Structure 1
Amino acid sequence: MTPKNRDIRLELITLLGVTTTVVIAAFAIYRLMHGNLTALLVDMLIACAILGVVVYARVSGNSQRAGNLMCLLNSCGCLLAVGLIGPIALTWLYLVLLTNFFLADRRLALGAGLTMLVTLCVLPGVFPDMFHAVSTLVTAALTALFSYTFATRSQDDRVELQELASLDALTNVPNRRMMERALTLAVEQQTLGRGRYGLIVLDLDRFKEVNDLYGHAAGDDAIADLASILRFEMRKDDQVYRFGGEEFVVLLQVTSRDELEAATERLRKAVRASLRGPGGRITISLGGALLGHERDWHDWFSRADAALYRAKSNGRDSYVIAEDLF
């Protein structure tokens, strides 16, 4: 699937990488003007490596791996700068410790930070005296601790927000937004010959009567119970989504029309046997369609939806499978 989610890590890699490259390039010009060719070479190598990570991240889209590379590169570059330039390069230490926790895996960032601090302790000539050594190392350790804590909290909050954005609040199943992404992916996968997919659209029969006679709370309970039944009936690779109102969509990996029809009938029977409301049994109608030559999920969905309405016209508590398009 290729959802166009906002990738915060990718944005940070790009911002930090480009900014750092520009700053290092400015230092490189300064080295050139003063004839410090060794430092110039180091600056250019670091700048090229950082820019290479940015390009890799943008082209591959693998921000996790690129962030880990950037973390290691920043840490090694900072130590190398301290070793070649001297204590003045320690000003980069705090920025590296801070940003690593937002670029890379937190365990890797923590390990890189500890390695940097231990290495600085054994490098000769880094600190003029014990006071400066303790002051710098304590400040750096606190920076790493606060960065780790804040990055952990931010990631947990981001995960929670993503879940809230992807799940339906009433039923706790993926919402329409997630359904659209999944159907788009299914079309892409089948086009590439990586499986075959079937779609089932279903909704509750005479749902308006439940709301009118027993209230919206009873209607919500029926929808939530239906979602629970559908989740229980899903196979390993199947997914159920709430499309809206009392309507749900089921995406299945199937090998034939017969398999899709059997799955559709199984869902109908499961709901008929288990779903109850204040007025007694509640049934569903279903429409199914195998993915054919469609290149847009809307066309595929429309065939299944049309089959659902034919099932309702046939008296409800039934299903219709749309004609195949191959």
Structure 2
Amino acid sequence: MITSSSNKSLAAHKRSTEEYIILSFCAASVLCLLPFCIMRLLSMDWLIAILDIFAVSAMAGLFCYVYLFKQIRIARWLLAALCLFVLFATIYLKGSAQLVWTYPVIVALFFILTPKLGVLFTLILLASLVPVIFRETQLIAGAAFYISAIATTVFSFVFAAKTREQHNQLTALSVSDPLTGVGNRRALDEKLANIINLQERNTMPVCLILLDLDRFKSINDQYGHGVGDKILIQLVQMILQRIRSSDGLFRFGGEEFVIVTENTELTDAANLAEQIRKDIEQTCLLEHNKITVSLGTAQYQQGETGYEWLGRADKAMYQAKEEGRNMSCVA
């Protein structure tokens, strides 16, 4: 049965890692730059003070934008451009003594952008600093700066690339069922939440099909969980062959699965459910035993939560079981 925990999970919206990185960087930048801004104003160094005020204001604005709207695509480009502009302006106004700020900017670029873009922006940065460095510093000092900057770039690239790879792997594992490879309960919650958000702006028919294997516990008890797992894997492969690539398949529970069909009318979703039921009934998944499923289909209705939507499909599925199993019912 569907529990109220699904409702809480659907309602919760966790910030992404990229959001946290941008928010943390903006907040840290404001805290670090604000004292310098005050000192520049007190010392009446107006040009640099205006630059610091601009940087603090822009960082604070980006923080508010990402915090309120949770949009990072534009914010990350603006933040990267802002870092480069402020660094360039500071070095050109105050001289090579400000080169120390290059290192944190290089590291930041690899976390704000992708590792490859981080390399590109860093190379542009280092090339743009050539006139200042070799005009104001000795050759050995300039070479030392570039060697250390390149070393920082290499370390940052390796670390950022490895971190991103591990993050992607963990993300895939966190939303995939380890046995069947389809989406898990968390992935389903996120999918339904996204659909409901989209429905507020662009209404289109969306249906879900809740599928449950009939008497699956007795199969596990009689043949063992190894056989039961093989049946689940075969079942998933059959469903994937029947549904569209744009449809979603999720393992909802032990032997329960949910199919989400976007831009699909209720009659079409009900026909799909019936086709799946017949496919499974006519396929020999277990020798000397017929494997059947009961299905419930429900179309999303404006204003309902994911929990309510799943609940209606759940009731239809249990209606199919009460009427003798191996049936498909519509909410």
- TM-score above 0.5, yes or no: yes
One-letter amino acid of the structure 1 residue matched with residue 80 of structure 2: C
Which of 233, 237, 247 lines up with 1:228 in the alignment? Answer: 237
Tell me what 1:219 maps to.
228
Residue 177 of structure 2 aligns to a residue whose secondary structure is coil
* d(CA) in 1 for partners of 2:263, 2:129: 59
Aligned 8 A contact 2:80 2:109 in 1: yes
**Can you give the 5+ residue segments of structure 1 that lack an aligned partner in the other structure?**
none
**Matched residue pairs, number?**
322
Partners of 1:238 and 1:130 in 2: CA distance: 61
Write the letter of the residue equivalent to 1:41.
Answer: I
Task: With the length of structure 1 as denominator, give the TM-score of the two structures.
Answer: 0.91
- The whole-number CA distance in structure 2 between the counterparts of 1:64 and 1:320 is 43
For residue 249 of structure 2, the aligned residue among 227, 240, 248 is 240
In structure 2, the residue matched to 1:268 is 277
Gap runs ≥5 in structure 2? 1-9
1:70 aligns with 2:79: yes
Alignment deviations for residues 146-169 of structure 1 (CA, whole Å, 9 cap, x no partner): 101110111111111111110111
Cα distance in 1 between the residues matched to 2:211 and 2:289: 20
Contact 2:119 2:153 in 1 (8 A): yes
Structure 1 range deviating more: 258-267 or 156-165:
258-267
Residue aligned with 1:244, SS: coil
Aligned position for 2:106: 97
Q: 1:171-224: per-residue Cα shift (whole Å, max 9, x none)?
A: 111111221222233344445452112221111122122212211100011111
What secondary structure does 2:325 align onto? Answer: coil
Tell me if 1:201 matches 2:210. yes
Superposition map of 1:80-159 within 5 A: 80-123=89-132, 127-159=136-168
The 8 Å contact of residues 26 and 60 in structure 2, kept in 1 or not, is answered as yes
Amino acid at match of 1:239: G
Counterparts of 1:37 and 1:306, CA distance in 2: 70
| Alpha-carbon distance in 2 for matches of 1:155, 1:20 | 23
Q: Does 1:281 align with 2:290?
A: yes
Cα distance, 1:91 vs structure 2: 1.0
Aligned to 2:41: 32
Cα separation, partners in 2 of 1:193 and 1:13, compared to 1, 3 Å: closer
Greater RCO structure (CA 8 Å; 6+ sep): 2
Q: Is the 8 A contact 2:95 2:136 kept in 1?
A: no
Write the distance in 2 (CA, Å) between the matches of 1:208 and 1:91.
66
Give the stretch that moved more between structures: 166-175 or 259-268: 259-268
State which drifts further: 38-47 or 274-283: 274-283
1:257 counterpart = 2:266:
yes
Matching residue's letter, 1:248: F
1:254 Cα deviation from its structure 2 partner: 5.2
Deviation (angstroms), 1:133: 0.5
Q: Find the aligned partners of 2:149 and 2:133 in 1 and give their Cα distance.
A: 18
Alpha carbons 1:120, 1:126 under 8 Å: kept:
no
Structure 2 vs 1, CA of residues 50 and 319 (structure 1 numbering), >3 Å: closer, same or farther?
same
Rounded to whole Å, the distance in 2 between the matches of 1:293 and 1:44 is: 47
Residue range with higher mean Cα deviation, 252-261 or 295-304:
252-261
Amino acid at match of 1:290: Q
- Quick check: 1:3–1:181 contact (8 Å CA) kept in 2? no
The one-letter code matched in structure 2 to 1:88 is A
Q: Quick one: which of 295, 301, 323 aligns to 1:314?
A: 323
Q: TM-score, normalised by structure 2?
A: 0.90
Judge which range, 159-168 or 306-315, deviates more. Answer: 306-315
Match of 1:175 among 166, 173, 184: 184
How far residue 89 of structure 1 moved from its aligned partner, in angstroms, is 0.6
- Provide the C-alpha distance between the structure 2 equivalents of 1:49 and 1:190, rounded to a whole number of angstroms: 33
Q: In structure 2, what is the Cα distance between the partners aligned to 1:293 and 1:73?
A: 42
| Structure 1 residues 316 and 235: CA distance shift in structure 2, 3 A | same
Identity %: 28
Distance in 2 (alpha carbons) for counterparts of 1:37 and 1:187: 51
Corresponding position of 1:161 = 170
